Chain A
């Protein structure tokens, strides 16, 4: 009977080991598929030097024209090395899964003893037989772990996509602000030139001239700060896109940043988030994993090891003596209750974690929606009222200047205000785009 069991088990063993788990490529394809559902596709996993080179070429092509947000995202997806690192987690999980499907190697023993001219040689084979029972369980666990890894990697792709979009907006906004500040600084410069001439002509007190000079210098500092912010924002983008050297000479597109009005209500977004968020789905997998793990502990509670051995002993001049042996632990001291309760605790923990995550995600959706909505309203006000009103104020001041009712300094000041309004409006529009990127990540899909 034992022999039969052994032979069927061995047969099963080879079958199991033979039909190995899904390949890394398939696993990566499922990441691609998951993220494509949320509008991020054509991921590329750099595994060879050739692939690295083709990525370089694609990046060069994408950088050769003014960089749009879409192209920046494209570059990030293929060229960001942090993302590549996370892809390797799939490789690791997949390898672990393969490993989980393998029997422990049998132990082959040989011993020889000599006494009084007679020698006894023993050949033995030991097989951790119970693996046969546990392999399907371990494989299940390994499969769950791989699925979880796929989901986690997918989530980090989407997270990186969101961050790339935001970095791009920051770089665009800070660059355009530098440009918008140009006329403002020039206007301060004109004020100062006039003031110096007025002072020289004896028409302005030194104090008033110095005040204007001080304003000019403050404006110059402001301009330097804007350049500093621009440099930082650009470098943040470079890091996200994985760019260095000559690659960093790209220009940004000047297409104006759009401001699309969000839906009037947030209804349905929470449900979408719970269903689509990959980190949510990966947390669900963790629960499954913990459950499977708990089941595994339960099953292996009393006996988790069983070794079968076959021993063949030959003593000189005697008949070969074959022995079948079995080794199994006797649950006297350890009934496995500790392992079982630990597994249950871990399971319970993961259930609570899932619950907490769901609550948090729902809150993030509401918060993200509110943030987008209010940010949009602010940007709308800037675009439709503040900028125009400042322009109208400037036009009225021009009329006042025509009538000698206002002087040149008021005229230049209102011209600067109109310019500052444009900068604030740009900031506000950038905020909308960033809020949108945030919310799209939060709900797991396009708005």
Chain B
């Protein structure tokens, strides 16, 4: 029995998703003069309108000894019990991921999504991971952080022969620890990770009571270089990425993490980008309780509001949601909370241009030219809202609308919504926070 996101979302979801697609995407269906017959094909998708807008899927708790982790804008991989072994089927394949309405990316991933589904099991379980390769090149899977027999480590050439396209390999081992881990290729990993091959591997403690939380979220940090006007990440890029994502979704296309006042919340974050990310949360100090090396002893934890997650690291932090409101959670590198932007755009801060506007407009009579950057870049969002067109399949640099105006964010940004009346185990979005009277900053 193979599991695939497409099995979960029926035609209904597909129709809803298609309504969310922007005209930018539709533009990709048009032939352009001089390029007859070179219609852009999105991998594996004949009709891009049917690309699903991935929302967070909640795994039912029933029949489980643990509280299932919630994969932000993702899903958890079901398993089958076979003679006491938890058997997971994993298919490495090209996929199309919608990063936010208006942008889809030709990725490589697992079981129809990138990142792949979260693998979830319990300490002491025997797991069998059956990996089929439908990628155009060989691959392996490395189980990042897990203690296992050397031959199960998934390093191509070193501990196994790489899995050729069309082949299926089986990994089988017993989970000897609990914690937060990742899985990713260890064969041409530069390309395959740049294309989105990655996923989380959560092992719950054997004792249900240990490390218990009410809400348990996880996501991966992934960066891509998708040049404006294109669909496929450039795998050769080393530093100049322009898409910074939580689980390959970018704000405002990211679900919020919705909790109830008093909940103990854990957020597990793995970093498979090429740089570190100081993840900062507003409103609540937290403690790092777990890394991909295991649980942090209680007496070794200290309070933080920002945790820097290095390349190839996992950090899980916990807090008790005491403060009601809509709290930002984001990477503190400000360029990582932006959509794509030109890295060499000239600096126009304080440069008067108004009087040149007419002159430049005259040179391009059919174009509504506007001078930009004199007073900063906030006008960018105004322009986006005015419907100024952008290149095909390209998100605005800053976007998102809040109850008080433009949020001017993008990339690695989402919200933790804390509500008194959020029902237990309900993960649905409660909407914008309604502030108690007199508790909002006021204009003098």
Contacts and interface: CB of A to CB of B under 8 A. Distances in A.
Interface of A: 183, 186-187, 189-190, 193-194, 197-198, 201-204, 385, 388-389, 392, 394-396, 398-409, 411-412, 415
A392 B351 CA distance: 29
B136 interface: no
Contacts of A183: 362-363
A412 B363 CA distance: 9
Contact of B346 (A203, A398, A403): A203
B100 to A, nearest CB: 14
Interface in B22-56: 32-34
Nearest to B398: A404
A407 B349 contact: no
Interface in B339-362: 340-342, 344-353, 356, 359-360, 362
The 7 closest A-B pairs by CB, nearest first: A203-B347, A407-B346, A405-B342, A407-B345, A399-B391, A403-B390, A402-B388
B396 interface: yes
A407 B344 contact: yes
Interface residues of B, number: 39
Nearest to B390: A403
30 contacts: A183-B362, A183-B363, A186-B359, A186-B362, A186-B363, A187-B363, A201-B349, A203-B346, A203-B347, A203-B348, A204-B346, A385-B34, A392-B32, A396-B229, A399-B390, A399-B391, A400-B342, A400-B391, A402-B389, A403-B228, A403-B390, A403-B391, A404-B341, A404-B342, A404-B345, A404-B372, A405-B394, A411-B369, A412-B360, A415-B364
Nearest to B396: A403
B316 to A, nearest CB: 36
Nearest to B342: A405
Secondary structure at the A interface, as helix, strand, loop or mixed, is helix
Contact of B367 (A197, A398, A404, A405): A398
A400 B380 contact: no
B33 A406 contact: no
B347, B351, B352, B397: which has the most chain A beta carbons within 10 Å? B351
A187 B351 CA distance: 18
Interface of B: 32-34, 228-229, 340-342, 344-353, 356, 359-360, 362-364, 367, 369, 371-373, 377, 380, 383, 388-391, 394, 396-397
A419 to B, nearest CB: 8
Contact of A407 (B342, B352, B364, B383): B342
Given A190-B360, A403-B228, A203 B34 contact: no
Contacts of B364: 394, 398, 415
A396 B230 CA distance: 12
Nearest to A403: B390
A406 B346 CA distance: 8
A385 B353 CA distance: 34
A187 B360 CA distance: 7
Given A198-B346, A201-B351, A408-B372, A190 B340 contact: no
Contacts of A201: 349-351
Contacts of A409: 346
Contacts of B340: 403, 405
A402 B24 CA distance: 14
Contacts of A389: 34
A404 B372 CA distance: 8
Contacts of B346: 194, 198, 203-204, 407-409
Contacts of A187: 360, 363
Given A197-B352, A203-B350, A399 B360 contact: no
A405 B341 contact: yes
Given A403-B340, A404-B341, A194 B351 contact: yes
B363 A415 contact: yes
A407 B345 CA distance: 5
A147 B141 CA distance: 96
A371 B37 CA distance: 32
Nearest to B366: A395
Contacts of B350: 201-203
A198 B341 CA distance: 20
A70 B126 CA distance: 93
